[in-house]
Amino acid sequence: MSQDKCPVGVLISGRGSNMAALVEAAEAPGYPARIAVVIANKADAAGLDFARARGIPAIAVPHRDFADKAAFETAMTAELERHGVELVCLAGFMRLLSPVFIERWRDRLINIHPSLLPAYRGLHTHERALADGVRVAGCTVHFVVPEVDAGPIVAQAAVPVMPGDDADALSARVLAAEHRLYPHALALVASGAARVEGGAVVLTGVGAAPAPLIVPPIPS
């Protein structure tokens, strides 16, 4: 650990826009985490270049170079351990992780998902939300468990669905919220303000909740 900042490893598969948001947040002196390493399962992942430009170790561990998932995950864990990582963030990492890897990082592995879980687990979240006619979408940061998108929830951001939205428009609005939510959630976990107890997240020292988001808004 450096200057009491929790060392974090970030796993990506592509451009890593959420990774970039975490890196930028972690550059603040008072932020409780530092990005110790960025690992991609694709050698051409654009996010690796971003990390390197910020002076962060950025390593490709291509999953296709390994005989099986176990060997691939062993290699990732070796890199995480080599860089002293204590907490792992998934940021657009497009590989399902095995129960063995998840157990190795139990209660120290978080992910961001583009819906208000437990609604719309899995893929095509925005299309499904629009098909159901919801007025509020959003994103969730949660601890990772073997069941997909089912782990204890750390934090959520609500995003209004606007008239005429298609999946692309809603996705862009939710992604902007993700870039704010993920650094906030990581700070909660890294500082110990959010921790898992009895299968749920317990929060300490957080502020009062804001006013409810009402969609469509009540006329003023």
Task: List the catalytic residues.
Answer: 113
For residue 17, say whether it is annotated as part of any ligand binding site: yes
Establish whether 41 is an annotated binding residue: no
Closest CA to 34 of 7, 53, 67: 7
108 is in an annotated binding site: no
Please work out, in degrees rounded to the nearest 5, the angle formed at the alpha carbon of residue 4 by the alpha carbons of 27 and 61: 60
40 bridge partner residues: 12, 60
Q: Judge whether 1 is annotated as a binding position.
A: no
Q: Is 180 annotated as a binding residue?
A: no
* 118: preceding bond cis by omega (within 30 degrees): yes
CB contact burial 187-203 (16+ within 10 A = b; e otherwise): bbbbbeebbbeeeebee
Q: Which residues pair with 158 in a beta bridge?
A: 138
What secondary structure does DSSP assign to 60-102, as a single string? E--GGGSSSHHHHHHHHHHHHHHTT-SEEEESS--SPPPHHHH
Q: Is 16 annotated for ligand binding?
A: yes
Is 175 annotated to bind a ligand? Reply is no
CA nearest neighbour of 10 among 31, 33, 44, 30: 33
Q: ∠ CA(26), CA(28), CA(32), 5° rounding?
A: 55
List the one residue out of 88, 83, 106 whose CA is nearest residue 11. Answer: 88
Binding site: residue ranges? 16-18, 69, 94-97, 111
Binding site for (6R)-10-formyltetrahydrofolate: residue ranges? 69, 94-97, 111
